[in-house]
Amino acid sequence: MSNKIDRREFLKNSTKVAAGASLIANSAKSQIFKEAPKVETDGYGFYKKNKWRNWSLQVNAQPSNILKPKNLNELRSIILNSDSMRFVGSSHSISGIIPNGQTLINTENFTGIISMNEAKQEVTAYGGMKLRQFSNQLARLGWALPSTGDTFYQSIAGLTSTGTHGTGMQWGSCSDKNCLVGMKVLLADGTIMDLHEDNPGDRELLSAFRVGLGALGYVVTITFKVVPIHNLEHYGKTRELDDALDPKHLKNNDHYEFAYSPYTNKCITFERNITKKQGNKKFERQRRRRENFTENWLAGRILALGSLRPQIVEAATKRFLNSVKDSHDIGRCDHIMTMPRTVPSYLMEYAIPLENARKAIDALKELTFELKEKPKDERFYVNLPCQVRFVRGDQGNLISPGAGRDTCWFGVGSHYKFKNSERFFKPLEKKLIELGGRPHWGKLFYTNPTDKYEHWDKYTEIRNKLDPSQKFSNDYMKRLDGLVGKGAKDLANKEVTFKKGDQEFTHF
């Protein structure tokens, strides 16, 4: 039976719970830090009256209405009395998945942990809750997600609705059926449904809602499987590419990934393993200095300057890599797995079959050198490392990019001030598609991926049944359905723009 937790009492007494709960692993007690502030958008999201923009500053909109319901009854009334709406969590998606021209619903009032079932190791929280707050409050109860993405800004509904993932071959994405086991959803007709994996009759709808793209209904709550809170020991090392790609690292580490540096044959690898060792303030200071100063503040300013003289990027990349020292941290698992992302970037990430990781890197290397030799007006300098992560194939969802196969998540990006980034993203996307790639739903892509999904027709069948009037649709969904062309000039809603300065973007 679930142990119900009154939300106000939970927030009031969370420190007492942490102090007395025997479930909190001793090795992680010292790693519980100050609660994050409620507002975590850092300048994106709803930044001016009736205006919205995403984290990359690349997609913006001026909808007719921006609404912020205080409770479920108010949200239900909005849904019943509106023709078109989309839900906004943290605005952390880089694609055009969020906006429409009519109503955007700010979900930040739907936050907090609701209940904990210790016997089943399941926790239920509101979908608008931000991942950082969720992880902190979960730690106070002595629990953690087994794996999560590499940053902590997203709402947990946005996290799961786009198939966000961590790394480690023991786990799938955050939308895998072994991680996400239940949901409460609010449908277009006002119906509220409680779904759980334990009920066979709920499994079909759950398979659609786990990665629902915000188009099936509002995700009120999510129930996750959790594990006891624990520490991770992290080692960051510089390795040659062949060594970084050795499959032994996937077997020998709980979480393994690497960042490949353009113009070189070297990578920085990240090995993370569950440990009973305790961290200390020195480890925490080192990690925070590296993440906040070196990898965000300093890197952001260097890249901004580099965008003025992009031809220096190759030399700067090599010099930076030669200066990087090995790192060693021990800390609470969610702190080690996530980090701040304060520098706006354009990001593309494709889920490719695990065995094609090397071919993807070869394609990236070839394109990197090809682009720098182009005529000046066609030239582009790859300026961010390629992030390579490894995840077990997803189960129990219809349109997760990692569904049905062990996956290498292959992520590339560009600092937002570098021009002509699409000269890089578009040809690389073609190569990744040839390698069996499917794009992350919340990041850049240009080619409609729906034919890559065996169960796309089932997803659309369920979507049309739950939302026959397409209340939760937008231009992004219409493009996926083949109803709108992908050029910016073909947008059905002119209030949604994909333009920054003199650059026009044609992605989804």
Distance, C-alpha 489 to centroid of its chain = 28
- Whole-model pTM? 0.88
Q: What is the number of alpha carbons within 13 Å of residue 314 lying toward its C-beta?
A: 12
* The two three-digit tokens of residue 71, written as one number: 């409770």
Contact 496, 58 (CB under 8 A): no
pLDDT tens digit string along 236-266?
999 999 999 999 999 999 999 999 999 999 9
For the segment 403-410, the average pLDDT, to the nearest whole number, is 97
Measured CA to CA in angstroms, residue 182 lies from 142, 149, 463 at distances of: 20, 20, 18
Contact 475, 493 (CB under 8 A): yes
Say how many Å lie between the first and final Cα of the chain, rounded. 44
Would you place residue 504 in the very low, low, confident or very high pLDDT band (cuts 50, 70, 90)?
Answer: low
On whether residue 299 sits in a domain, the answer given is yes
Give the whole-angstrom CA distance, residue 121 versus residue 118.
Answer: 5
Contact 490, 484 (CB under 8 A): yes
Residue 503 has pLDDT above 80, yes or no: no
DSSP 28-93: HHTT--PPPPS---TT-EEEETTEEE-TTS--EE--SEEE--SSHHHHHHHHHT-S--EEESS---
Tell me what pLDDT residue 43 has: 56
pLDDT tens digit string along 7-65?
443 334 333 333 322 322 333 333 332 333 333 344 578 877 888 888 887 888 888 99
On whether residue 293 sits in a domain, the answer given is yes
Q: What is the CATH number of the domain that holds 297?
A: 3.40.462.10
Residue 501 has pLDDT above 80, yes or no: no
Provide the residue range defining the domain that includes 325. 231-439
On whether residue 67 sits in a domain, the answer given is no
Dihedral sign, Cα of residue 463, residue 130, residue 338, residue 225:
negative
pLDDT tens digit string along 78-137?
999 999 999 999 998 888 899 887 899 999 999 999 999 999 999 999 999 999 999 999
On whether residue 433 sits in a domain, the answer given is yes
On whether residue 52 sits in a domain, the answer given is no
On whether residue 100 sits in a domain, the answer given is no
The residue type at 154: Q
Share of the chain above pLDDT 70, in %: 87
Residue 409 has pLDDT above 90, yes or no: yes
Q: Which residue has the higher pLDDT, 17 or 298?
A: 298
On whether residue 431 sits in a domain, the answer given is yes
* The two three-digit tokens of residue 461, written as one number: 């069948």
* The two three-digit tokens of residue 214, written as one number: 């915000």
On whether residue 471 sits in a domain, the answer given is no
Q: Exposed, middle or buried, 293 (CB in 10 Å: 0-12/13-18/19+)?
A: exposed
Work out the mean pLDDT of the chain and round it to a whole number: 87
Q: What domain count does the chain have? A: 1
Give the whole-angstrom CA distance, residue 340 versus residue 144.
Answer: 19
